[in-house]
Structure 1
Amino acid sequence: MTSSAKPRRFAVPLRTAAFAFGALLAAALPGAAQTLVKVGVPVGTVPGLKAAIEEGYFQKENIAIQFVTLSGGPAIITATVGGSVDVGYADMFAWVGSLENGFDLVLLQPANGRGASDYIIAGPKSGIKTPQDLRGKKIGIAAHVQSKLRVTLYLERFGLKPSDVTLVTVAQRDTVGAALASGQIDAAIAPDPDVAQWEQQFKVYPLDGRPWQQVPEAATTAGFFVTKAWLAANPKVAEGFVRAARKGAARYNALSAEDKAKIVLKYDKLDFFELEKTTPGVLARLNDDIASQDGPIDLTATGEWLAIAQKYGLIKNTIDLKAHLYRTATEPKV
């Protein structure tokens, strides 16, 4: 087993405040009551749900979505179990960890595949030019174990081990750019659209190779999770949520870079059109943002991803996935 450096906490201002997106839509039918569904998400995620709101897919299901922004998978899992959100968007490893701790969350719908939008980026003061230059440096990772695994596999691809670097947990993703600019960390794993913004704002730059390339192609890396109690009380709402989420994911993946940029601008307040003026080509990178999954889980590929996590000691055991999936996660059509 490859040795793994133990991440140390990096003190950053915590902004896990829940905010309600006003994307609560009018009822699809006159007089029909909408069901409010609170969805726990990290900042800048779930573009498929945002596309579904824009296209009126949730409206047709008489569902109103309220996003509650939290710091990452573990916090979202906790909020889902505690009932402060109805549906939690979290990485698969956070979910497996919750099952190991006795929680009853089930996978409602796969949300993300391996994607093609994450990078290893270096700060302007780091002196890093190649992946091999990461030796002895501080690398920022997100507050979930999938981030650590992606960095570990990336390092190994370029002949390094986690023990060759210091892994620093940055709890708030939107503070990574400033931490790189100040030299508090030397490099970090991060996705677009954040990377695009920080390239202009903080002069960070991506290194060769991409972390997503080490993830099994058809694996589910994140999903939408609910408690069994919520599911028992809201089976029709759950089905409607999945139908709208799948349609939204398919729609977002098929959008042009320009139309994706409009969604990012509206929901994440990041203006790719302005960035394009100073960093030509950055808008086209949204064509790589196709991670949203619009169908059932691939059990084989996802099991392979969990086995890799177990190999590196990031989860204790692989699980019988089928025992923890609601039928909407496996059916081709809901």
Structure 2
Amino acid sequence: MSVLPTNFRAQAETRVSRFKTLSRAALCGLVLFAAGLQSAEAATKIRLGVLGGNPVAALLAYDRGYFKDNGLEIELVQLSSGPAAIAATTSGSVDISFGDLFAWVAGLSNGFRNVKLVAPAGTPSYGSLLVSNESGIKKPADLAGKRIGAPGAPLFSTVNKLWLANNGVDSSSIKFVIIPPGGEGPALTSRSVDAVYAYNDLVALSVQATLPSLAIGVPTNEIPAGATATGYYGNTAFISAQPKAVEAFVAALRKGAKEYLALPDRNKAELFTKYNSLELPALLAKYHNFFEEFHPTPVQTGGIDVGATQKWVELGFKYGAFPKPVDIAPYIHVTATR
């Protein structure tokens, strides 16, 4: 019987030990690979309806990967308006959408009740009422019997009527003229209206670049303190089928909102240009005072103030935003309350 040399045995044992180590590593790799596949398969897809560069908190959360971190796959779906967002959510074309509160309440008022508020978003951007420097209009009372131009959203007509009423002007004496977004400057220049509602800073800068004008008021300031004027709305079938996904969505959203609020205003302005597909150098060349005139979008990071928001809804009904009064409490999902 032959005896193996000692060094041969040692070499064989080393090979066996290496084989075991490699086998364990391979096994661990397979386990991690399988876990990765399982994680990818477990990601819940949410079709999120957005409006141009809004909502900033959700878009920031999307950019930062917060939804992905929470096991969600977000498909951004561009929609044209608040009513279009609610219609898409009602039909199930999207699972969750962003839009103004009045579009949602109008849907509820008209019997479309399978859409619930899953998270408050905030209030609209800084909206100002502009008049030509040569108009002779210096104060709210001067607008009596005049024409105000604004896009057709009930939100805009309501804040203007409320601002007029709070300044002692009967809004029924005013003729409201619907003008498309981008038509504010030409409408004021042609004198087809006496004042225009600039629903964000860029619109105001555009008008002022077209015609020397001044702001005689900020109607968005009339929205009741604490009220939610924009929000995220979910299809009730989706909410019932994916309650954990809705919770994960709101958690990621809140993280994005808190990060946005912590940013310096200049960075917020840069996000505005990014999400609205604007070239910042070209914008600054045209509006050199863009950063100075920019007002950040107010966003909410916590639950809805139901009382303040219901008051806002009642004001909307008073000023003709929807045909019937609505109690919104039954249509608020638990994720919007905390």
Determine if the TM-score, normalized by the shorter chain, exceeds 0.5: yes
Which residue is 1:99 aligned to? 108
Which has a greater percent of helix?
Answer: 2
Matching residue's letter, 1:137: K
Tell whether the 8 Å contact from 1:272 to 1:283 is kept in structure 2 after alignment: no
Q: Is 1:110 matched with 2:120?
A: yes
Offset from partner CA, 1:17-72 (integer Å, 9 cap, x none): xxxxxxxxxxxx94424444333333343111122123221221233434433332
Q: TM-score normalized by structure 1?
A: 0.78
Counterparts of 1:42 and 1:319, CA distance in 2:
25
Counterparts of 1:212 and 1:62, CA distance in 2:
37
The worse-fitting range, judged by mean Cα deviation, of 300-309 and 213-222 is: 300-309
Counterparts of 1:204 and 1:221, CA distance in 2:
31
Q: Is 1:309 matched with 2:316?
A: yes
Matching residue's letter, 2:63: E
Which residue is 1:262 aligned to? 270
TM-fit CA distance, 1:126: 5.5
Q: Alpha carbon RMSD of aligned pairs, Å?
A: 2.8
The worse-fitting range, judged by mean Cα deviation, of 56-65 and 236-245 is: 56-65
Higher-Rg member (1/2): 2
TM-fit CA distance, 1:92: 1.9
TM-fit CA distance, 1:242: 0.9
Which residue is 1:217 aligned to? 225
Name the CA shift for 1:87/1:124 in 2 (closer, same or farther; >3 Å). Answer: farther
Which residue is 1:322 aligned to? 329
- Give SS of 1:107's match: strand
Counterparts of 2:52 and 2:131, CA distance in 1:
21
Matching residue's letter, 1:301: A
Q: TM-score normalized by structure 2?
A: 0.77
Identical pairs, percent:
34
Which residue is 1:6 aligned to? none
Offset from partner CA, 1:205-241 (integer Å, 9 cap, x none): 3422211221111001121111211212222221121
Tell whether the 8 Å contact from 1:181 to 1:202 is kept in structure 2 after alignment: yes
Tell whether the 8 Å contact from 2:148 to 2:197 is kept in structure 1 after alignment: yes
Correspondences of 1:1-334 after superposition (within 5 Å): 30-31=36-37, 32-33=40-41, 34-103=43-112, 104-113=114-123, 117-122=126-131, 128-170=137-179, 172-199=180-207, 201-203=209-211, 205-271=213-279, 274-276=282-284, 279=287, 281-286=289-294, 288-331=295-338
Offset from partner CA, 1:245-285 (integer Å, 9 cap, x none): 11112222221122112212222023556545565543134
